[in-house]
Structure formats: C-alpha cells, structure tokens
Amino acid sequence: MTSASRSKSAFQIMGQFWSVAFLVVALISLEIWTQIQYGRTFVFSAYNIQAILVLASIPLIIAIGQTFVIVSGGIDLSTGYVLGLSSVAAAQVLNLASPHMDALPALLVAGAAAVLVGAMAGRVNGFIVATLGVPPFIGTLGVFGIARGMAYLLAGGGSTVAVRNPILEAMGNGSIFGVRAPIFFAAIVLIVAYYALRHLRFGQYVYAIGANRSAAERVGINVKRQIASIYTLSGACAGIAALGCCARYSAGAPQAGEPMLLDSIAMVVIGGASLFGGSGTIIGTLIGALTIATVQYGLVVVNVEPFWQFITVGLIIIAAVLIDQAKGKFL
C-alpha cells in the first residue's frame, strides 16, 4: 500500500469514527477520575447515564431538525429563539385553556400551538431562503431577531410564563417503563426522523440538494419547495423541543433555547455532517448529542466552572470542521 493510500485510509477511518472515539475517551476519562476521586463508578451508574440522556434530550430534538437543514447545504440560526417563542406561546395557550378544559385536552392544544408556531417560523425561514434567495446565514439570523422580540412581547416583557398541568409535569420529570420521560419522547422523534431521512423520498431529496443543487434541479426536484419544507421541519422540531422545555421547567421562557443553538449545530457537525451539505445522519447527530451532553455533565462532575462548557463545545466544533475539511482534501 502506498503512502497516499495509507493516508486516505487513515482519514476515512477518522472521518467515520472520530466522534465515537472522542465519546469513548471522554467516558473513560470520567470513569478514571471518579474512581480516583470518589471511589465509585461513572459509566456504570444508572443515575449518571440517565442524567446525560436527559441533558441531551431537548437539544437533540432541535439538532434533528438542524440535521435536515445542514445536510441540505443550509444552516438555521433561528432555532434557539424559535424554541423560546414556541415555549411562551404554549405556556400562554395552556394558561388560557386550563380553566375551560381538562388537563389532557388543554395540553394537546398547547402542544399543537408550540409546534404550529415553530413550523410557521420555519416556513418564514424557508420563504426567505428559497424564494427570496437570501443566504441561509443572513435569513435565519434575521428570523432569530424577530422571534426573540416576539417571544419577549408575548411573555409580557417578563422572562418566564409559569404553567401548571400535571400531565405536562409528568412529561418533564416523570418516567415511562423506568425510563425518564424526556428520553422516551426524544427517542420517538429520533426514530421518526431516522426513517424519514434514510428511507423516504423526502430524505433522498435532502441529500441530493445538499450534494449538488443544480443537479437536483435538472433531475426534476422542486428545490425551492423542498428547502421550504426542510426549514419548516426544523422549526417544527424547535416547537416540539419547546414543549419539552415547558414540561421540564413548568414554564415557557423566551430565552429557553438560547444556549441550545450552538449545541444543536455542534451535535450535527460532531456527528459527521458536512457544513457544505450532502452528508450527515441522524445516528451521527445522536452520537454528537451524547458527546456534548457527556462533556457538559462531566465538567460539572469534576467541579469545573460552567463557563468552560462554552469553550469546550467551541473547540470541539473547530476540531470537527477541521476533520471535515481534511476529509475533503485527502479523500
């Protein structure tokens, strides 16, 4: 085997497995640290594993929508405040409906409101990007600002809108068959998205548009309509995540999704998706979500200041992009 062939094989392996390797190294490091410091296990603790999965669950739902966008060659910078706007809308609708409905119907109406508001914001993104031809970075950044202002206005200028609904509280803090409810609901979204991206024609169109938009148009794909649908899906995922935030914290908050924007992009990129479009998987995004959640939870366990989380996630994103560029250069 020539040196060029060996280099190519090495980068293929790195491109496919580096995120899994990074997750394994993080878990081993935390296991060693907790064994030495506290004399107990980290990896084989059910409490720690469930805590990581719960921490990953809501950002993962946003990242799933972001996966479709990034694979198509775009990016959605509005998801954080679209989540915030959707959570406030859900909280306000729930508070209006609760005096007149039982807990379950009121929750269903509020959930529909969250998803609808998120999908509408995503549709606006799709119109700006697909129809008006505005670059995704600029278009979605504009919607970010609009959603941010609308969320605070809808909240009445306050930071949170408190809600009370026993079913919603159980969704955020209860368990289903021994599994924490947020994990269960995130798994449902994950399975549906995996099937859609891998097996449906819609998913194939997403890959085709990201790989070569001009070629996709030439084979008859309505690219503008598909891009609008992709951004609508991203917004709907933010709406679903917003309901999860309401469930977990018993409140809707305009700023609820602000820290999740960076995390959602990081999860997709760490999972192997290219920021240039055409590649990425839902399973990869799951691995990225587990990696970010493990790092964030692990830094808390080792008593590191939480501000280091932002630095760490930023460094991981840079590493992921460098690896992506290296794959493009050497493969």
In-domain check, residue 309: no
39 torsion bin: left (phi>0), alpha (psi -120 to 50), beta (else): left
**Amino acid in the structure at residue 135:** P
Intervals of the chain under pLDDT 70: 1-17, 158, 324-331
pLDDT computed for residue 327 by the predictor: 62
For tokens 């820290």, the residue is: 259
| Residue 165 domain boundaries | 58-257+275-280
**Domains in the chain: how many in total?**
1
Contact at 8 Å (CB) between 29 and 299? no
pLDDT computed for residue 119 by the predictor: 96
Q: Cα separations (Å) of 186 from 10, 56, 67, 103, 306?
A: 34, 9, 15, 22, 25
In-domain check, residue 302: no
* Interacting residues of 80 by C-beta distance below 8 A, sequence separation 6+: 62, 144, 257, 258, 259, 260, 261
In-domain check, residue 267: no
In-domain check, residue 171: yes
In-domain check, residue 231: yes
In-domain check, residue 26: no
Dihedral of CA atoms 213, 216, 222, 227 in degrees, nearest 10, equals: -40
Q: DSSP string covering 271-291, please?
A: TT--TTSS---HHHHHHHHHH
pLDDT computed for residue 258 by the predictor: 82
Q: What's the pTM?
A: 0.89
Torsion 19-21-24-29 (CA) sign: negative
Contact at 8 Å (CB) between 71 and 279? yes
Closest Cα to residue 57, out of 206, 160, 161, 173? 173
Contact at 8 Å (CB) between 86 and 242? yes
Rounded Cα–Cα distance for residues 197 and 193 (Å): 6
pLDDT computed for residue 12 by the predictor: 44
In-domain check, residue 66: yes
pLDDT computed for residue 328 by the predictor: 57
Structure token digits, residue 6: 């060996």
Contact at 8 Å (CB) between 164 and 230? no
In-domain check, residue 221: yes
